[in-house]
Amino acid sequence: MPAAESHVAHHFPDLEVQSHAARLGMWLFLATEVLLFGGLFTAYALYRMLYPSAFHGASRLIETSMGALNTVVLITSSLTVALAFHYSRQSRNRLAALLLVATIGLGFVFLGVKAVEYAHHFREGHLPGRFYRYAGLQVPGASMFFTVYFLMTGLHGIHVIIGMGVLTWLAVGAWRGSYGGDYTTPIELGGMYWHLVDLIWIFLFPLLYLI
């Protein structure tokens, strides 16, 4: 595979070591992402313990159905990105590119739903800290719920947007046939990142919407 050989940087003995290195690096990066969110999860846990009833009450104010819809959307997008990787391995580059585009589309759907939710919160005054002005729930900790809610979903949203950027770049590459066969590491790594974004949502959804 001479095409693949050219992807090996001078300091790596062969492609296998290089892919191994890339994958290891990606895993470490994902670990840092988990820890980044870990800080917020800690804050969530502490404040949930301090204000159990406020958190319970405030989580009733956000639409479970919207969250559920978004969960489905993200899980589907994880599937499409996995398929993209699968077809890219078979060098079916156009198909892989289309699947990546589908993933990006699902990302837009996710953000759209999120925007609807945010708009609703802004109207109702379900806002963090000193901006909180919802009369229906005036207990201490309610504003804290929305502080945590906006920080967590906001940070997650930023990750979705970054992920979409990465996927766009991959889709262009796939369409041009830069990957395929032995050399699919970029798509694999991009997919891993997208899976992580998905996974974090899978934790956020029950914590924020359900319990």
Partner 1 sequence: MSPSPASIPPAPADAGAPLYLERNYLNARRGLWSWLTTLDHKRIGVMYLVLTSAALFLGGIFAMLLRIELLTPGPTIMSALAYNRTFTLHGVVMIFLFMIPAIPGIFGNFFLPLMIGARDVAFPRLNLLSVYLYLTGAAIALYGMIHGGADTGWTFYTPYSTTTVTMVWPILLGAFVLGMGSIVTGLNFIVTVHTLRAPGIGFMRMPLFVWALYATSIIQVLATPVLGITLLLVAVENVFGFGIFDPARGGDPVLFQHMFWFYSHPAVYIMILPAMGAITEVLSAFARKNTFGYRAVAFSSLGIAFVGFFTWGHHLFTSGQSTVDAGIFGVLSMFVGIFTAIKIFNWTATLYRGSIAIRTPFIYVIAFLFFLLFGGMTGIALATVALDVHWQDTYFVVAHFHFIMVGGTVAGFLAALTYWWPKMFGKSYSERWGIVGATLIFLGFNFTFIPQFLLGNEGMPRRYYSYPVRFWPLNVASTAGASVLALGFLVVLATLLLSLKYGKPAGPNPWGSRGYEWKTLSPPPEGNFLTQPTYPRMPHDYDDLNPGRGGH
Partner 2 sequence: MNELMRRMLFLPEQGSAYARQVDRLHYFVISMTMVGFVGVAATVLWFVIRYRRRAEGEPTPTIEPRPIHEVLFVGGPLALFLVWFAIGYPLYVRLQTPPRDAMDVYVMGKKWMWKFAYPGGPNDMDDLHVPAGRPVRLLITSRDVIHSFYMPAFRLKQDAVPGRYAETWFQADKPGRYEIFCAEYCGLGHSAMLGTLVVMEPEKFDAWMTEARRSPAVAAAQDTPDAAANPVATLARQGRNLAVEYGCMKCHSVDGTRHIGPSWLDLYLRKEPLEGGGTVVADEGYLTESMMDPGAKVVKGFAPVMPTFQGRIPGPEVAAIVEFIKTLRTDAVHPAPTPGRAYEPVPGFDPTRSR
Q: Which residues contact partner 1 by CB under 8 A?
A: 9-12, 17, 20-21, 24-25, 28-29, 31-33, 35-40, 42-43, 46-47, 50-51, 128-130, 140-141, 143-144, 147-148, 150-151, 155
Give 37's contacts (C-beta < 8 A, 6+ positions apart).
Answer: 152, 155, 156, 200
- In the complex with partner 2, the residue whose CB is nearer, 90 or 138, is 138
Q: If binding is defined by CB under 8 A, does position 210 make contact with partner 2?
A: no
- In the complex with partner 1, the residue whose CB is nearer, 51 or 209, is 51
Give 187's contacts (C-beta < 8 A, 6+ positions apart).
Answer: 84, 85, 88, 96, 100, 170, 174, 179
Q: CA 168 to CA 112: how far, in whole Å?
A: 18
User: Minimum Å distance from CB 51 to partner 2?
Assistant: 8
- In the complex with partner 2, the residue whose CB is nearer, 141 or 163, is 141
User: Minimum Å distance from CB 200 to partner 1?
Assistant: 13
What angle is formed at CA 13 by the lines to CA 11 and CA 19, rounded to 5 degrees? 90
User: Minimum Å distance from CB 135 to partner 2?
Assistant: 13
Are 30 and 200 in contact, with CB atoms under 8 Å apart?
A: no
Residues pairing with 183 in the sheet: 180
- In the complex with partner 2, the residue whose CB is nearer, 20 or 56, is 56
Angle between helix axes 142-176 and 93-124 (nearest 10 degrees) is 160
- In the complex with partner 2, the residue whose CB is nearer, 62 or 166, is 62
Give me the 35-74 binding string for partner 2, x by CB under 8 A, dash otherwise: --------------xxxxx--xx-----------------
User: Minimum Å distance from CB 124 to partner 2?
Assistant: 19
Joined together, the tokens standing for residue 54 give 């406020």
User: Minimum Å distance from CB 18 to partner 1?
Assistant: 8
Q: In the chain, what are the helix, strand and coil shares in percent, each to the nearest 5?
A: 80, 0, 20
The phi and psi torsions of 198 (rounded to 5 degrees) equal: -65, -45
Residues making contact with partner 2 (CB under 8 A): 49-53, 56-57, 138-141
